[in-house]
Amino acid sequence: MPVLYKTIQSTMKNKEGDKLFHPRTVYVGGVNTEKIAQEIAEYSSLSTGDVKNSIDNLVTVLTRHLQSSEVVTLDGFGTFRLAMKSRGKGVKTKEEVSAAQATLQVHFTPASTRNMDRTVATRSLVTGVKCVLYKPESDGSGSGNEGGSGSGSGGGGLDENPLG
């Protein structure tokens, strides 16, 4: 199935005073650990419960390593790392710096391969993806210039089923 997107218009103007249009992902549903475990079990000799237990244990172990300031790489999948993002303004001296000035975020980078010239050849989770413009059939208001935060995470169309 392709990745669906819609057109949104920026709420902010550029230097020329124009509100430009951008693509944003439309989400049509979600899956949880149970569903992923069921699907993995179909490809293996493990039961759904065994797979779910393995996923739960993966999250526990991954969390422990991230919280120990380690970078976690899962071959063929990608790399997880914790990153600090500063909130507000900095301080004048290094003695005033504290962790309270920042929030922690988990960053994920999909696995990639490199060409002989060291350029990135693929990102495993997005290689070969096909993107298709989402056109809701029942909604006549699809003007294509909805506002958005730019993160692609808001409403995203979870209630709208493009397949019928």
**Can you give the pLDDT at residue 142?**
44
Q: What is the mean pLDDT of residues 82-93?
A: 87
pLDDT of 76 above 90:
no
Q: What is the mean pLDDT of residues 61-88?
A: 92
Domain ranges of the chain: 3-133
Kindly indicate the confidence band of residue 121, based on its pLDDT and cuts at 50, 70 and 90. low
Task: Give Cβ neighbours of residue 81 (< 8 Å, ≥ 6 apart).
Answer: 66, 71, 72, 106, 107
CATH T-level topology, domain 3-133: HU Protein; Chain A (4.10.520)
Higher pLDDT, 146 or 29: 29
Mean model confidence pLDDT for the chain: 82
**Can you give the pLDDT at residue 42?**
96
**Can you give the pLDDT at residue 152?**
37
Cα separation, 31 vs 104, whole angstroms: 25
Q: Which of 16, 21, 14 is nearest to 147 (CA)?
A: 21
Q: Per-residue pLDDT tens for 2-50? A: 889 999 999 999 999 999 999 999 998 899 999 999 999 999 999 999 9
